Structures are given as structure tokens and as C-alpha cells.
Amino acid sequence: MPQLVAYEVQCYSGGSWVIQSIFDDKELALIEARRMEESGLRKQETRVVKDVYDQDQDKTRSSVVYESPMVRTKVPTEARQQPAAKRPPGGPPARSRRHRPASAESRRNLQKTPVPAC
């Protein structure tokens, strides 16, 4: 069976990581994370986590593929290693209907749209 891959955009809020959005496309997840860093009244600590679900073994592997520079200086080391809050136990990575692979035009529009702060 094929593996399912999802990219979670997370921000550090209230002492834990919170999932803000989920993408099937790594590039879109990175764009969103970088935009979140600069949006709002204060800069945010963000990261992108790649979740790979292996259907044969019924296991999910997670790895951080991007951290904002502020994560290394502001987030405690033990918090950098913790999973996001509200992650569903076991099973495939959560999927969101509103995040689908986008066309080039949609990506251009995504870069122009403001993002609310955490």
C-alpha cells in the first residue's frame, strides 16, 4: 500500500505546538509557515512537520522539515521536540478538505492573502 503524506503548519502558543493548517503540498505548507511568521502584531514561532502514514504497518512517522529562526532562540529545547496539541492518536494524518494541491494561480493568490495570528 502507498504511504500517505501530510504537512502540518504549527505555531507555538501557550507553551505547546498548535496545528494551524494541513497541506498535501510541501511548498504550500512552507509558504504558509513563512507568512505566519511575519503576520500579526508580533512575530510567531512556526514549524512545518511532515507526517508519513504507513498503511501496512499502521504507523505514523513525523519529522520537522522547517523551523522559523525564532524557534531556536525562543522555544525551550524540550518543547521543540514535543508533538502538536490535539493530534489524533494513531491512524493516518488528519486531512482537511480545504487544503488540496493548488494551481499556480492559487499559489500566487495565497502569497497575497493575509493570515490571522495564532
pLDDT tens track for 62-97: 999 998 887 766 666 556 566 665 544 455 455 444
Nearest C-alpha neighbor of 51 from the set 111, 15, 14, 96: 96
Residue whose C-alpha is closest to residue 85's, from 8, 24, 27, 31: 8
pLDDT of residue 76: 63
pLDDT at 2: 76
The residues near 60 (Cβ < 8 Å, ≥ 6 apart) are: 51, 52, 53, 54, 90, 91, 92, 93
Mean pLDDT over the full length of the chain: 75
The answer to whether the pTM exceeds 0.85 is no
Q: What is the number of helices (H) and of strands (E) in the chain?
A: 4, 4
